[in-house]
Structure 1
Amino acid sequence: MEYSTVKVAVVQAAPVLFNKQSAMDKIASASREAAEQGAKLIVFPEVFVPGYPRGLSFGARVGSRTTDGRKDWERYWASAIEIPGAETQLLGELAKELGVYLVIGVVERDQEFSRGTLYNAIVYIGPDGELLGKHRKLVPTGSERLLWGQGDGSTLTVMETPFGRIGGLICWENYMPLARTALYAQGIDIYIAPTADARDTWQSTIRHIACEGRCFVISCNQFATKASYPDDLAYYEDIKNDPDILSSGGSAIVGPLGEYVAQPLMNQEGILIATLDLRQIAQSRFDFDAVGHYSRPDIFQLTVNDKKQRIVKNV
């Protein structure tokens, strides 16, 4: 590490759902606000672009789908981004202007094969404006599986920065012990966990990961209300009787011994700012290192397939 400390920012907000431009505008304004406060790493929630469609059914039931539901989904598909693409180019220009690392949850539209599949992804942009990498969620949770495809081991991304190695997993794939181990084995120092989970149990999860991985954990959720949903959706009725606050947030930053560096932010939009003392990472691994002196490779071994999976291979 070149730095002993780094200031980070966690943006808890929500765009207008299905509105890519709304998300991009919020990223620009929040990033500028965070950078003005000295943040060098700025994190946005799970699928911030173009939003998490909590509560929507898209007309899907076991054994059937509807025409109107397909139209809602096509609207979601149209608001997704490509990686790389026009939006990542704009994000790169923003990151370069501000001299920051941007980590943003997005819905990625596949551009390599059929263009018909979406992925829940994290995109990483460097302060030089370059696209550093991405991670695709390995297993979408529950009904998410109808919206997003499954990622593969080629995007279990951890990358070097002047303030340590950064990477992460999305929401409930953080409950996958072997996926976490794959990141620990790459020496992750700052573990980023965008989520859509605002429950108390999520706080237990991120504190456990910090203590298990002896790393900083940055968790980022959306604060979303019904006002962020376009009311002309075919299945807007799905959320009509839900509470006005659809996601109450809970974004937080946890240190490598499991203590809060920034307490959970609840029931409001906001930006958490914290200075991380990176020396605490080495200090915390004095008595526990999950993939180092506390591992037993003579008993336990993990094999990770990090090859990109293709349905058609040219030989």
Structure 2
Amino acid sequence: MLTQYKVAAVQAAPEFLNLDAGIKKTIRFIKEASESGAKLVAFPELWLTGYPWWIWLDTPAAALASGFVSRYYKNSLSYDDPRAKLISDAAREYKINVVLGFSERENGSLYISQWLIDSNGATIGKRRKLKPTHVERTIFGEGDGSDMVVHDTELGRLGALNCWEHVLPLNKFIMFSQNEQIHVASWPSFTTYEFASGMSWEINNTVTRSYAVEGACFVVAPSALVSQAMVDELCDKPEKHELISVGGGHSVIYGPGGEPLCEKLDPNEEGILYADVELDAVDICKHFLDCAGHYSRPDVYRVLFDKQRKRCVVPIDLEDESRVENAASEFVREVSFSKDQ
């Protein structure tokens, strides 16, 4: 396992509603980060194929009439799409770990997802945002407990969350309990609804920094930009210009004590932020503060964490008696768990 290495956070505008162009831009940033010596490159939330800002600018009915919904489906990525392999191949070619934010399509549903890929192009993990925020729920489905995982990797214990998943205390506690050392906090851009509670970049950077302190871990926090082309396409009414504007990039990288590890880019500037990681610093910080370990009180409070994957259809072979019994036992267990709550 590496204990000293460089990490990279991408700050850029997505190729909005254009999956093919977005993949090309992704590979370009993977190559650039690798050639700059990084061992990990992290991308913003919904980097492919852009955050669906129209959900904040008008009614759900208006979004259906606008044509955005259909275009977003067509430009969302599924893991079995041959184009997905282009990204994992790039990770292998440039020998770099990748955490990619994207709109995942599975059959007729979309999810806010992150794909963790190692430097050999193999999948470390696939996760979905546990709870889409506010009007995001008009587009995206939910994840489950299997998406709240910290992975053993060549870079240490690696985990990832999206956006306001970092606001929910129990989300954080579950991640901290798995001895996370390096964390990717993926965000969209920060130009919309800044007047609303908790929506400003200052608040969200604070949440990110707090995660680093509470988790005693390194936090790589990429965020996207809104381009002029996106504004032109999204704003078909004058009043919408009051809700979204060009820019909004506020990417950051923090150390396990909450210290900034690099200078921020201008909010309108595309580029990559870099910082050096030294995992020994995690041990020192956890010595003082391990929220889900020596600095907790399990006699006073505990978290029930169901990490089982939940899907609405579970195929079984009726000729395989053991699988039928296991499926039935799992169903009974879930019913019992629900009654106990």
TM-score with structure 2 setting the length: 0.83
| 1:33 alignment counterpart | 32
- Superposed, 1:57-68 pairs within 5 Å as 60-61=59-60, 64=61, 68=65
Q: Letter of the 2:109 partner, please give it.
A: T
Cα distance in 1 for residues equivalent to 2:239 and 2:155: 42
| 1:222 alignment counterpart | 224
Tell me, yes or no, if structure 1 residue 304 matches structure 2 residue 300: no
Deviations 1:1-38 (A, max 9, x none): x2231111111012221100121111111111111110
Cα distance in 2 for residues equivalent to 1:101 and 1:42: 6
Change (3 A) 1:38 1:75: same
Kindly state the Cα deviation for residue 271 of structure 1 after the two structures are TM-superposed. 0.5
- Superposed, 1:81-100 pairs within 5 Å as 81-100=77-96
Deviations 1:84-120 (A, max 9, x none): 432321111100100000111000001xxxx111000
Which stretch of structure 1 is more off in the superposition, 218-227 or 304-313? Answer: 304-313
| 1:188 alignment counterpart | 180
Unaligned runs of 5+ in 2: 191-200, 316-323, 325-341
Change (3 A) 1:240 1:178: closer
Q: Letter of the 2:310 partner, please give it.
A: Q
Cα distance in 1 for residues equivalent to 2:13 and 2:239: 16
Q: Residues 14 and 23 of structure 1 are in contact (CA less than 8 Å); yes or no, is this contact kept in structure 2?
A: no
Q: Letter of the 1:149 partner, please give it.
A: G
Q: Residues 212 and 258 of structure 2 are in contact (CA less than 8 Å); yes or no, is this contact kept in structure 1?
A: yes
- SS of the residue corresponding to residue 264 of structure 1 reads coil
- Superposed, 1:34-113 pairs within 5 Å as 34-56=33-55, 60-61=59-60, 64=61, 68-69=65-66, 71-110=67-106
Cα distance in 2 for residues equivalent to 1:66 and 1:41: 36
Cα distance in 2 for residues equivalent to 1:176 and 1:127: 31
Q: Residues 15 and 48 of structure 2 are in contact (CA less than 8 Å); yes or no, is this contact kept in structure 1?
A: no
Please identify which structure carries the higher strand content.
1
- SS of the residue corresponding to residue 224 of structure 1 reads coil
Tell me, yes or no, if structure 1 residue 206 matches structure 2 residue 204: no
| Aligned match for 1:142, one of 134, 145, 158 | 134
Change (3 A) 1:6 1:84: farther
Tell me, yes or no, if structure 1 residue 273 matches structure 2 residue 278: no
Q: Residues 5 and 277 of structure 2 are in contact (CA less than 8 Å); yes or no, is this contact kept in structure 1?
A: yes
Kindly state the Cα deviation for residue 179 of structure 1 after the two structures are TM-superposed. 0.9
Change (3 A) 1:261 1:226: same
Change (3 A) 1:257 1:50: same
* Higher Rg of the two aligned structures: 2
Which stretch of structure 1 is more off in the superposition, 92-101 or 220-229? Answer: 220-229
Kindly state the Cα deviation for residue 60 of structure 1 after the two structures are TM-superposed. 3.2
Cα distance in 1 for residues equivalent to 2:230 and 2:64: 24
| 1:249 alignment counterpart | 249
Cα distance in 2 for residues equivalent to 1:66 and 1:176: 29
Kindly state the Cα deviation for residue 312 of structure 1 after the two structures are TM-superposed. 3.2
Change (3 A) 1:13 1:56: same
Cα distance in 1 for residues equivalent to 2:56 and 2:214: 36
Kindly state the Cα deviation for residue 165 of structure 1 after the two structures are TM-superposed. 0.8
Change (3 A) 1:236 1:56: farther
TM-score with structure 1 setting the length: 0.90
Change (3 A) 1:32 1:67: closer
Tell me, yes or no, if structure 1 residue 132 matches structure 2 residue 129: no
Kindly state the Cα deviation for residue 68 of structure 1 after the two structures are TM-superposed. 2.0
Change (3 A) 1:74 1:285: same
Which stretch of structure 1 is more off in the superposition, 157-166 or 200-209? Answer: 157-166
Kindly state the Cα deviation for residue 201 of structure 1 after the two structures are TM-superposed. 0.7
- Aligned-pair Cα RMSD in Å: 2.1
Which stretch of structure 1 is more off in the superposition, 166-175 or 78-87? Answer: 78-87
Q: Residues 214 and 257 of structure 1 are in contact (CA less than 8 Å); yes or no, is this contact kept in structure 2?
A: yes
Cα distance in 1 for residues equivalent to 2:184 and 2:213: 14
| 2:259 alignment counterpart | 259
Kindly state the Cα deviation for residue 293 of structure 1 after the two structures are TM-superposed. 0.8
Cα distance in 1 for residues equivalent to 2:303 and 2:142: 20
| 1:159 alignment counterpart | 151
Change (3 A) 1:244 1:305: closer
Please identify which structure carries the higher helix content.
2
Q: Letter of the 2:258 partner, please give it.
A: G
Kindly state the Cα deviation for residue 175 of structure 1 after the two structures are TM-superposed. 0.6
Kindly state the Cα deviation for residue 56 of structure 1 after the two structures are TM-superposed. 4.5
Q: Letter of the 1:279 partner, please give it.
A: D
The share of aligned pairs that are identical, in percent, is: 33
Q: Letter of the 1:175 partner, please give it.
A: V
Unaligned runs of 5+ in 1: none
Change (3 A) 1:80 1:119: same
| 2:295 alignment counterpart | 294
Aligned pair count? 305
Kindly state the Cα deviation for residue 296 of structure 1 after the two structures are TM-superposed. 1.3
